[in-house]
Amino acid sequence: MRSRPTTLLATAGLIGAVALAACTPGSNADNKPAASATGQVTTDASKLGTVTLTVWDQEVRGGQAAQIQELNKEFQAKYPNITLKRVTRSFDDLKTTLKLALSGNQPPDVFQANNGRPDMGSFVQAGQLVPLDRYAEAYKWTDRYPETVRNYSSYSTDGKTFGTGTLYGLPQVGEVVGIYVNTAKLKAAGVNEPPKTWADFEASLATLKAKGELPLVLGNLDKWPAIHVFGTVQAQNVQPDAIRTLGFGQKGGSWKTPENAKAAQTLVDWVNKGYLSKDVNGQGYDPAWQAFSKGTGVYLIAGTWLQADLGKAMGDKVTFMLPPSASGTPAATGGTGIPWAVSSKSKHPDAAAAYINFITSPNAMAVLAKNDNLPIADTAEQEATGPLGKAVFEAFGTAVQKNALVPYLDYATPTMADTLGASLQDLLAKKATPEQFLDTVEKDYSGFVSSNG
């Protein structure tokens, strides 16, 4: 039996807490922009007076850290009137703290906002980002960044439509999912050249299997890696524009098409024929590509982000190619690094934009390449380190030039990463038929599209 005073105390505490919590969540966010969104843009940063820019970024690892340090130093030397106050965070930390910082009163001026609806999309919706269209025009970003690339950081002004509309961010680096090939093992199995068409690719899978090799390496314990493999297969079966509609979660698409069914069936066939290891869902992503780098398997469908590690481990025994296309025009899952954006509360949007322009300039692209990053613009003109780097730069350059990039499928809805990840594990383990798989994904997509308005 509780004594009366305890109950009294608890009640008092609860009432107090209720009083404190009385306002609607999100209502204390003051999102009135300080910067005007129109008017003349000053592109000469040296004429902007004495300015301090607070910059939040997550370029903390290896070549990423090296490039931004070098560029920041050059920027400071060129514009002594602008002081950079750099705050570094890990990717996960930035993701969780940025939301709070942007709704507070002193957000950073320039920061990296992750692509996708839960992050950049919600910032646009809340009016926390400066639309960059007029800077894109003033600095001629539109000439160097093709539309397929800009789409990844474009939204309608209400934040509801993704993949088109106003530009809200600009990325430094690109990424594309392609196929890493262990050329030495491929030759040993009697396939002299990496396949040029999708049919040749599938034929080589059969040849490799017959020779007792593991044709395709995939570690899908982490759930998301299969999204990239499915995206690669899908891109050979479905029209790129249809994939873009689905991937950006725009109205008017459907997963329930014969083409998507064929893509899903292909994955199941690969499992049945033993092209993929039977333990795909039990193997981690990192152990899988590490095993590939040590000589397990012949093909690895993965992104350009593994270039530095695989190049170091395998030297000239490995190359990278865009998925050989079924139709003649290449199509590949890909996207951009985390785009840089400007806070609508920043008092110096012109200086912020000048900074973004500086770290994405042609000179910056050379610095990026030199430090083992994949520059997103002018890629083909850059000097890569090592033979694998060259192959990667060439592949990405081709993908951008031929409008081959299709978005990551998990961009579509806030829940799509989970839905797709779980249902692809089901598909690979044959717990779900291609039909059921498409039903699950369609439900997520259409549910979101209809409620998104």
Partner 1 sequence: MAQRTSAGPPGEPRRVAYLYLLPAFLVYAAFLLYPLVRSIQISLYDWNGNTLATWAGLDNYAEVVTDPALRSSFGHALVLVFFYAVLPLVIGLGLASILNRARVRGLAFFRTVIFLPQVVAMVVIGVAWRRMYAPDGSVNDLLRAVGLDSLARGWLGDYTAALPAVGFIGTWFEIGLVTVLLLAGMGQISGELYEAARLDGAGPVREFFAVTLPSVRGEMAVALTLTVIAALRTFDLVYITTRGGPGLSTSVPSFEVYNRAFQQGRVGSAAAVAVVLTLIIFLISVGITRVADRDSR
> Residues in the site for partner 1, rule: CB under 8 A?
5, 9, 13-14, 16-18, 20-21, 24-27, 29, 95-96, 99, 102-103, 117-118, 122-123, 125-126, 128, 220-223, 277, 279-284, 287, 414-415, 417-418, 421-423, 425-426, 429, 431
Q: Considering beta carbons, is residue 41 or 429 the nearer one to partner 1? A: 429
CB of 302 to partner 1, least distance (A): 18
CB of 251 to partner 1, least distance (A): 20
CA-wise closest residue to 355 among 63, 184, 109: 109
Q: Considering beta carbons, is residue 86 or 223 the nearer one to partner 1? A: 223
Q: Coil, strand, or helix at residue 424?
A: helix
CB of 19 to partner 1, least distance (A): 9
CB-based burial label for 102 (10 Å; 0-12, 13-18, 19+): buried
DSSP collapsed to 3 states, the chain: CCCHHHHHHHHHHHHHHHHHCCCCCCCCCCCCCCCCCCCCCCCCHHHCCCEEEEEEECCCCHHHHHHHHHHHHHHHHHCCCEEEEEEECCHHHHHHHHHHHHHCCCCCCEEECCCCHHHHHHHHHCCCECCCHHHHHHCCHHHHCCHHHHHHHEECCCCCCECCCEECCECCEEEEEEEEEEHHHHHHCCCCCCCCCHHHHHHHHHHHHHCCCCCEECCCCCCCHHHHHHHHHHHCCCCHHHHHHHHCCCCCCCCCCHHHHHHHHHHHHHHHCCCECCCHHHCCHHHHHHHHHCCCCCEEEEEHHHHHHHHHHHHHHEEEECCCCCCCCCCEEEEECCCEEEECCCCCHHHHHHHHHHHCCHHHHHHHHHCCCCECCCHHHCCCCHHHHHHHHHHHHHHHHCCCEECCHHHCCCCHHHHHHHHHHHHHCCCCCHHHHHHHHHHHHHHHHHHHC
Q: Considering beta carbons, is residue 276 or 318 the nearer one to partner 1? A: 276
Q: Quick check: 62 and 93 in contact, CB under 8 A?
A: no
Q: Considering beta carbons, is residue 239 or 290 the nearer one to partner 1? A: 290
Q: Considering beta carbons, is residue 23 or 77 the nearer one to partner 1? A: 23
CB of 264 to partner 1, least distance (A): 15
CB of 223 to partner 1, least distance (A): 5
Q: Considering beta carbons, is residue 27 or 450 the nearer one to partner 1? A: 27
Query: How many helices (DSSP H) and strands (DSSP E) are in the chain?
Result: 19, 12
CB of 30 to partner 1, least distance (A): 12
Q: Considering beta carbons, is residue 393 or 411 the nearer one to partner 1? A: 411
Q: Considering beta carbons, is residue 270 or 358 the nearer one to partner 1? A: 270
CB of 25 to partner 1, least distance (A): 4
CB of 14 to partner 1, least distance (A): 7
| Burial state string for 144-179 with b = 16 or more CB within 10 A and e = fewer than 16 | bbeebbbbbbbbeeebbbbbebbbbbbbbbbbbbbb
Q: Considering beta carbons, is residue 169 or 323 the nearer one to partner 1? A: 169
Q: Considering beta carbons, is residue 347 or 431 the nearer one to partner 1? A: 431
CB of 425 to partner 1, least distance (A): 4
CB of 103 to partner 1, least distance (A): 6
CB of 185 to partner 1, least distance (A): 19
Phi and psi torsions of 396, nearest 5°: -70, -40
Q: Considering beta carbons, is residue 123 or 355 the nearer one to partner 1? A: 123
Q: Considering beta carbons, is residue 241 or 286 the nearer one to partner 1? A: 286
- Write the DSSP symbol of residue 297: -
CB of 284 to partner 1, least distance (A): 7
